[in-house]
Structure 1
Amino acid sequence: MRWIVSLLVNSVVLIAVSGLLKGVAPDAFYIANIQTAIIASIILAILNVFVKPLLILITLPITLVTFGFFLIVINAITLKMTDSLLGDAFNISGFGVAIVAAICISIFNMIIEKVIVEPLHEKKRK
């Protein structure tokens, strides 16, 4: 159940970031519909489990030198991989847009963690 909620939240985050970037550049980040966002979230989850650890391992020296900031590039790579798997229904116009989207997604996820998830965990402890 928790995994499904996480996928749905990530789908909403993808749509929000797409809308945010649409205000800057109309064709920068396009998601056709909510179903595409859900499928993209599933693909991203799979990539984060299987591909992302390998990318982190391969790029460990540069990740350490950049104090972890290179992880944003790895997140952008997984976004572009999702883009290539979903075709026209999910489109990120370039790698620069993927980096900006990865940063925005990370910020949204941090906010959701601090505002929603942590308070729920605190309530369960009491």
Structure 2
Amino acid sequence: MLQFVLIWVLSAIALVITAYIVPGFAVTSFASALLAAVILGLLNAIAKPILVLLTLPLTVVTLGLFLFIINALVIWLAGAITPGFVVTGFFPALLGSIVLTLVTSLLTFLVGSVRR
């Protein structure tokens, strides 16, 4: 349970850092970031597998690069339904998905190395 909460908080921190780096990607408060992290997690668990399955031929043809588009669409959708989390367009969502992945990986690595 504690690890779940830690990952949730790290995801919210990663969203705040990404909003600081990427123009067109905004989080109004840390509470909004926590809510956005939950909604992103739910969308990644429910909507993303469906999108991946529906676009599998396109993903294969592009050698997996279409997954960047799917990630951007999921983040854009999360921005549309989460109060206090704003993604102003597709390209901020695309850049934000890349930066968010890198920041989340870095934070997870740093916390993992501290916990050992």
User: Aligned in 2, Cα 1:61/1:111: closer, same or farther, shift over 3 Å?
Assistant: same
User: Aligned in 2, Cα 1:52/1:37: closer, same or farther, shift over 3 Å?
Assistant: same
Letter in 1 for 2:50: L
Structure 1 residue 111 displacement after superposition: 2.5
Structure 2 residue aligned with 1:36? 32
User: Aligned in 2, Cα 1:66/1:114: closer, same or farther, shift over 3 Å?
Assistant: farther
Structure 1 residue 36 displacement after superposition: 0.2
Structure 2 residue aligned with 1:102? 97
Structure 1 residue aligned with 2:67? 71
- Percent identity over paired residues: 25
- TM value normalised by structure 1: 0.82
Q: How many residues align?
A: 115
How many Å separate the matches in 1 of 2:32 and 2:46? 21
How many Å separate the matches in 1 of 2:33 and 2:16? 7
Uncovered stretches (5+) of structure 2, i.e. residues with no partner: none
Structure 1 residue 82 displacement after superposition: 0.9
Alignment of 1:19 onto 2:20: yes
Deviations 1:51-103 (A, max 9, x none): 1100110111111222222111111111111111124x111111011000001
Helix, strand or coil at the partner of 1:51? helix
Structure 1 residue 115 displacement after superposition: 4.1
Alignment of 1:62 onto 2:58: yes
How many Å separate the matches in 1 of 2:109 and 2:4? 18
Letter in 2 for 1:46: L
Structure 1 residue aligned with 2:76? 80
RMSD, aligned α-carbons: 1.7
**Structure number with higher relative contact order (C-alpha < 8 Å, ≥ 6 residues apart):** 2
Helix, strand or coil at the partner of 1:30? strand
Helix, strand or coil at the partner of 2:82? helix
How many Å separate the matches in 1 of 2:109 and 2:16? 20
Letter in 1 for 2:86: N
Helix, strand or coil at the partner of 2:63? coil
Structure 1 residue 114 displacement after superposition: 4.1
